Structure 1
Amino acid sequence: MADQPTTTRIVLASRPQGAPIAANFRLEQSPLPAPTAGQVLLRNRYLSLDPYMRGRMDEGPSYAPPVAVGAVMEGQTVAEVLQSNAAGIAVGELFLAPGGWQTHAVLDAQVLGRRLDPAGLPLSTALGVYGMPGFTAYSSLHEIARLQPGETLVVAAATGPVGATVAQLAKLQGARVVAIAGGDGKRAYLQSLGVDVALDHRAADFAAQLRAAVPDGIDVYFENVGGHVLDAVLPLLNDFARIPVCGTIATYNARGVEHPGPDRLPALFSQILRQRLTVRGFIVHDFSHLWPQFEREMAHWLREGRIQYREDVVEGLQNAPDAFFGLLQGRNFGKLVVKLD
């Protein structure tokens, strides 16, 4: 009789109040059930860490249910099939999977994502530029931004996998691109990607620098951050500007924390009305009809070197929580991936 499979996993030990801390997570060993009909046993090789995971740690209304206290933290993985009781899936095949923060998982075959070619693009790109983050950039530019040649696009968190892809796709579409990140190293990287202007949001005169960088105003602001970056952008928006709202990472750790101050919502709504702005939140699955087109075009751009990417690889599952804290603080430089091999 075969040994019962086990996994090393990180579970949500408690819900954070403000910024997550180490005590909100627990590393543990756990047995796994043997895969039954239609299931597979997977070994996770890479784990993606993404800002949306902070929202999954909280209770309350959202577009997806929260992670339960005591349950494995949610996350996409690149996974190898170790055992298969599912027709058409062979041992040794690689898939994109909702494997979570753990080394192994038993899943229904129907929840597996696309097959991955070990001889194709690097496997980790399926979690970044050639996966959900890249598709987030591609699909929202296509469906919401509707960017025209010669327009000005501003994107913050621009060295992350979404922001960097937005910046490069916008250049391919003939736009003028102002990219924002934190620190000189990230600014230099953005300049290497060919953006028109790269700004450091930590600069004391950031708002003035942004104003000088957009003499014709802003036609598209790709919102990843919120906070003081949004404050600097709002006065510079042109009439009929479009704002795809992908995330507001500056505010994620403020959930459940009281912040007294003036109510700025009426002024924002007045501006939306007065300037006929399009402000649209979206979830990447809204645009799934574009996935085949994205796969085809992005693979071509990556192989030709027209789209560049950078990864921030962390070794070992035990280091995932600290890496995640850094992600929420902007410490990462590129797509944050945990290598589990």
Structure 2
Amino acid sequence: MQDKINRQVILTSRPSDIPQADNFSIDTSDIPTITEGEVLVRNIYLSVEPAMRGWVSAVANYSEPVPLGGVMRALTVGKVIESRHPDYGVGDIVTGMFGWQDYAAVDGDKVQRRVETNGLPISTALGILGINGVTAYFGLMDIGQPKQGETVVVSTAAGAVGSCVGQLAKLQGCQTVGITGGPEKVALCHEAFQYDHAIDYRSEDVDAALTTACPNGVDVYFDNTCGPISDAVMKHINVGARIVLCGTASITNWDPIPMGPRVQRQLLVKRARMQGFLVFDYNDRYGEAISALTPLIKADKLRYREDVLEGIDQAPDAIASLYRGDNLGKRLIRIANESE
């Protein structure tokens, strides 16, 4: 093993809001020794998710907080370099919640899946063919249930999840409207992700822009933000609208709970449905989504962007950078070469 050490990104303090670089340290330890039933994985790409803000909070949400002094929880993709599990061999590419570190000793039964590249980069296992694409697929298709001719609105429309949602909705024959921040991302929505309309929430009145972009109202809203953007969209929902609650990126603090406009009247009058969505509820159906998405990617009917940082030293600031909007595409950190 080339490095002989295992670099690990450690959570050293609880952030009061968005995690910053000084909430983490980079420590070193010995490369772990595996026992029967385990595999040793050399991580190649580390994933960065908006949800990580909740994972390091002192208050548990849908998962227990990352412990202080613990390795930062993260999805990764890497190579098996040693195996004591019958289902995995040396050289297999695998993905799972292996953490921000060079090496991970993993119970083979807790590996999420073996990655079959099908000619695509292994990095896609963390994005368009990983948590982001699967989130988009099931959130839209199972909960949003778009129908041909309907209008679908997506917040964080140029992001790793939103960009996939918009394209899938377009493939269903829907009118698509993306909400994003900044002219560069508006251009990306139009040129790469084929949105019919893209609204820049930083420079436009979202309510007024929706009136123009959605003259027949909104049938499906894929909500990645909550907050003022979602308040504006709710004014335009149609009878029978479906609202997919996937993220709350615009809310900086949930204690105390922010009291925004009441949406119950709009939901009642429009007989609309608002439903929360966690991709982890679909762990046993990942293969279904990947089988549906892969041929679309290979046929250039589903496009994706990756924003790759180089080196584990980039990890401590990566979550804050994500919330600053510095990335254009799925945020990843490459810490090794596939040949290692």
TM-score normalized with structure 1 length: 0.93
2:38 is matched with 39
Within 5 Å, which residues of 2 pair with 1:100-249?
100-117=99-116, 120-192=119-191, 193-249=193-249
Q: 1:289 and 1:53, CA in 2 relative to 1: closer, same or farther beyond 3 A?
A: same
- For residues 72-120 of structure 1, the C-alpha deviation after alignment (integer angstroms, 9 at most, x for no partner) is 0111111111111112321121101211111111111111122123562
Q: 1:30 and 1:145, CA in 2 relative to 1: closer, same or farther beyond 3 A?
A: same
Give how far 1:331 is off. Answer: 1.9
Secondary structure of the corresponding residue to residue 68 of structure 1: coil
Q: In structure 1, what residue type is equivalent to 2:32?
A: P
Indicate if the aligned counterparts of 1:7 and 1:103 stay in contact, CA closer than 8 A: yes
Indicate if the aligned counterparts of 2:158 and 2:180 stay in contact, CA closer than 8 A: yes
Partners in 2 of 1:182 and 1:93 — Cα distance? Answer: 39
Indicate if the aligned counterparts of 2:32 and 2:104 stay in contact, CA closer than 8 A: no
Indicate if the aligned counterparts of 2:23 and 2:316 stay in contact, CA closer than 8 A: no
Q: 1:194 and 1:338, CA in 2 relative to 1: closer, same or farther beyond 3 A?
A: same
Indicate if the aligned counterparts of 2:223 and 2:246 stay in contact, CA closer than 8 A: yes
Partners in 2 of 1:169 and 1:330 — Cα distance? Answer: 23
Indicate if the aligned counterparts of 1:18 and 1:255 stay in contact, CA closer than 8 A: no
Q: In structure 2, what residue type is equivalent to 1:279?
A: M
Q: 1:212 and 1:39, CA in 2 relative to 1: closer, same or farther beyond 3 A?
A: same
- For residues 130-164 of structure 1, the C-alpha deviation after alignment (integer angstroms, 9 at most, x for no partner) is 11110111111121111110000000111111100
Partners in 2 of 1:250 and 1:329 — Cα distance? Answer: 11
Within 5 Å, which residues of 2 pair with 1:1-341?
6-117=5-116, 120-192=119-191, 193-251=193-251, 253-256=252-255, 258=256, 263-264=259-260, 267-288=262-283, 290-341=285-336
Partners in 1 of 2:35 and 2:47 — Cα distance? Answer: 27
Give how far 1:226 is off. Answer: 1.4
Q: In structure 1, what residue type is equivalent to 2:245?
A: V
- For residues 285-324 of structure 1, the C-alpha deviation after alignment (integer angstroms, 9 at most, x for no partner) is 3234543321212111011010000000000111112221
Indicate if the aligned counterparts of 2:20 and 2:319 stay in contact, CA closer than 8 A: no
Partners in 1 of 2:310 and 2:88 — Cα distance? Answer: 28
Structure 1 gap ranges (5+): none
Give how far 1:216 is off. Answer: 0.4
Q: In structure 1, what residue type is equivalent to 2:16?
A: Q
Q: 1:228 and 1:300, CA in 2 relative to 1: closer, same or farther beyond 3 A?
A: same
- For residues 249-284 of structure 1, the C-alpha deviation after alignment (integer angstroms, 9 at most, x for no partner) is 111x3244x587xx446x322222222221100111
Partners in 1 of 2:18 and 2:51 — Cα distance? Answer: 14
Q: 1:196 and 1:4, CA in 2 relative to 1: closer, same or farther beyond 3 A?
A: closer
Structure 2 gap ranges (5+): none
Partners in 2 of 1:19 and 1:307 — Cα distance? Answer: 31
The farther-off stretch of 268-277 and 46-55 is: 268-277
Give how far 1:33 is off. Answer: 3.4
Partners in 2 of 1:130 and 1:259 — Cα distance? Answer: 34
Partners in 1 of 2:226 and 2:18 — Cα distance? Answer: 17
Partners in 2 of 1:319 and 1:123 — Cα distance? Answer: 20
Secondary structure of the corresponding residue to residue 235 of structure 2: helix
Secondary structure of the corresponding residue to residue 287 of structure 2: helix
Q: 1:94 and 1:25, CA in 2 relative to 1: closer, same or farther beyond 3 A?
A: same
Q: In structure 2, what residue type is equivalent to 1:208?
A: A
Q: In structure 2, what residue type is equivalent to 1:7?
A: N
Quote the RMSD (CA, aligned, Å).
1.9
Partners in 1 of 2:323 and 2:263 — Cα distance? Answer: 26
Q: 1:85 and 1:4, CA in 2 relative to 1: closer, same or farther beyond 3 A?
A: farther
- For residues 182-230 of structure 1, the C-alpha deviation after alignment (integer angstroms, 9 at most, x for no partner) is 1111111111122110111101433211221110010111000112211
Q: In structure 2, what residue type is equivalent to 1:199?
A: I
Residue-pair matches, total? 335
Give how far 1:42 is off. Answer: 1.2
Give how far 1:32 is off. Answer: 4.1
Q: In structure 2, what residue type is equivalent to 1:311?
A: E
Secondary structure of the corresponding residue to residue 219 of structure 1: strand
Partners in 2 of 1:82 and 1:66 — Cα distance? Answer: 29
Q: 1:204 and 1:175, CA in 2 relative to 1: closer, same or farther beyond 3 A?
A: closer
Q: 1:226 and 1:127, CA in 2 relative to 1: closer, same or farther beyond 3 A?
A: same
Give how far 1:177 is off. Answer: 0.2
